[in-house]
Structure 1
Amino acid sequence: MRRFLFIIALLPVAYYLLCVVALAYLRYLPPPVTGVQTQRVIEQVWSGEPVIRDYRWRPASQISPHLPRAVVAAEDARFFLHRGFDWEELHKARETARDEGQSMRGASTLTQQLIKNLFFTTHRNPVRKVYEWALTPVAEFILGKDRILELYVNVVEFGPGIYGAEAAARHHYGITAADLSRQQAMGLAAVLPAPLTRRPQAMGWYTEIIEERMQQLGW
């Protein structure tokens, strides 16, 4: 019984180490599948819906530079300044949550979001957060900023069953990721907070905010 309990206790550590090994692999190669993609396929099968998983990896050189810039402006403006955690945004989120009497939400950096997308699901729980916080500095060290951003724009969800820049560009605009204009890239970045319900063409108000942030960042 003790041996069984010992093995059970080691499982979280084993999964953490597995994620670290996976990050080393992802430094050079694209992920064949992600945690969020697996979650969505299971949800589709469970609900009896057609299984949709449009995921097409493209290297950064084949993605319009407007998209990663728009994503940074929309999701993590201090991405190139912090080391995985934006303490300034965390403080703001904590203050807002305290003033509104709600639990703290938001303030996740692109690195934290990438960890969630790769290894976990969209469900909120304390265990995922512990892993997320433990793996974020490892990802920053192993991958570096450019690779983190390349991975992010390739795996993040842009719509139901739509993952990454290439699939998103084809689905929403009928073009390749390399051909995305500045306006189209901002439209894709605008759906990220709620990709299952938002559409780029209906996000004009938010694209204006992203445009302003991009200008502030010198883009």
Structure 2
Amino acid sequence: MKKGFLRRFFVPKNLTGTKECLWFLISRIGFVVANFYLCLTLIFSVIPVPFSAYMMQKKVENLLRSDYRIDYDWVSIDDIAWQMQMAVIAGEDQNFDNHFGIDVDAVLIALKRNAKSDKKPRGASTISQQTVKNLYLWHGTSWVRKGLEIPLTFLVESLWSKRRVLEVYLNIAEFGRGIFGVEAAAKHYFGKSAKNLTQQEAALLAASLPNPFIYQVNRPNSTMRKRQQWIIRQVQNLGGRHYLEKLD
């Protein structure tokens, strides 16, 4: 019975013409993919994420390198210092509590800034978008990836609380070569757990997130130090730990 249902689902009898069959097949594949992501998002709303798509991408890219390994330890958001939580919000997405996954105002500002500059375009990805990209998709410039990222971001925002989005983001963000999540980063760079990070340490980790290979936590340049201090000031301007109460 299941076999007959699957055959009718993918190859109905009343379709004629190659084009019609092709579009029908695409719609069915889209249906399966959408439900796959829906199930994953529901599962990851309650259980720790065992690994991310980006971790898999990095592992594949380094298959021939015997010295590469993934350093990853999941921790509850209750075991992450509030200073670290606020540092990434201040540095990456100050409207985190107000938008529904896409910060339209930030996108418009980025478009205007990029139109006036010959430098490399700056993005306006929210923490929610970065979480989706790291968890489900891949890194690199691609309109296909961006096209998948937007609906998946809305899906995540619909099913997860802001607190959960932040928790997953902090656990799967890359902070250096093979270093994923704030727990692994805190232990690697400071020899302590994420719950014991100071304001200066948290801001330094957050300052590396634009690109942890250019902005290295263990070798901070002057630009990174300036960003670190800017993040600390922004945390204060946002209200410090009281900001996090709005995410519950």
TM-score range, shorter chain: over 0.9
> Partner of 1:185 in structure 2?
202
- Name 1:136's counterpart in structure 2: 153
Closer, same or farther: CA 102–197 of 1 in aligned 2, 3 Å: closer
Q: Output the CA distance in 2 between the equivalents of 1:13 and 1:124.
A: 25
Pairwise CA RMSD: 1.9
Q: Distance in 1 between matches of 2:66 and 2:91?
A: 31
Distance 1:123 1:13, change over 3 A: farther
Structure 2, unaligned stretches of length 5 or more? 1-16, 241-248
Aligned residue for 1:132, secondary structure, equals helix
Name 1:157's counterpart in structure 2: 174
Q: Which of 47, 50, 63 is matched with 1:32 structurally? A: 50
Q: Structure 2 counterpart of 1:35, which letter? A: A
CA contact (8 A) 1:172 1:200 kept: yes
1:113 aligns to what?
130
Question: Residue 59 in 1 paired to residue 59 in 2?
Answer: no
1:17 matches 2:53: no
Identity within the alignment, %: 32
The code of the aligned residue for 1:167 comes to A
Find the partner of 2:229 among 198, 208, 213: 208
- Letter in structure 1 aligned against 2:212: P
Q: Is the 8 A contact 1:16 1:131 kept in 2?
A: no
Q: Deviations over 1:145-189 (max 9, x none)?
A: 000000100011011100001100011111111111111000100
Taking the aligned partners of 2:212 and 2:160, their CA distance within structure 1 comes to: 26
* Aligned-partner residue type, residue 78 of structure 1: N
Mapping of residues 164-179 of structure 1, within 5 Å: 164-179=181-196
Q: TM-score, normalised by structure 1?
A: 0.92
The alignment of Structure 1 onto Structure 2 pairs a total of residues equal to: 218
* SS state at 1:200 partner: coil
Match for 1:68: what amino acid?
Answer: Q
C-alpha separation between the residues in 2 aligned to 1:16 and 1:130?
A: 13
Relative to the length of structure 2, the TM-score reads 0.82
Larger RCO, structure (CA 8 Å, separation 6 or more): 1
- Residues 125-158 of structure 1 deviation map (CA, whole Å, 9 limit, x = unaligned): 1111111111111111101100000010001101
SS in 1 for 2:63: helix
Q: Which has the larger radius of gyration?
A: 2
How do residues 88-127 of structure 1 correspond to structure 2 at under 5 angstroms? 88-100=105-117, 105-127=122-144
What does 1:71-86 align with in structure 2 at a 5 Å threshold? 71-86=88-103
- Report the CA distance shift for 1:204/1:105 in structure 2 as closer, same or farther (over 3 A): closer
Checking the alignment, whether the CA contact within 8 Å between 1:153 and 1:165 is kept in structure 2 is yes
The yes-or-no answer on 1:68 pairing with 2:85 is yes
Instruction: Give 1:19 shift.
Output: 1.4
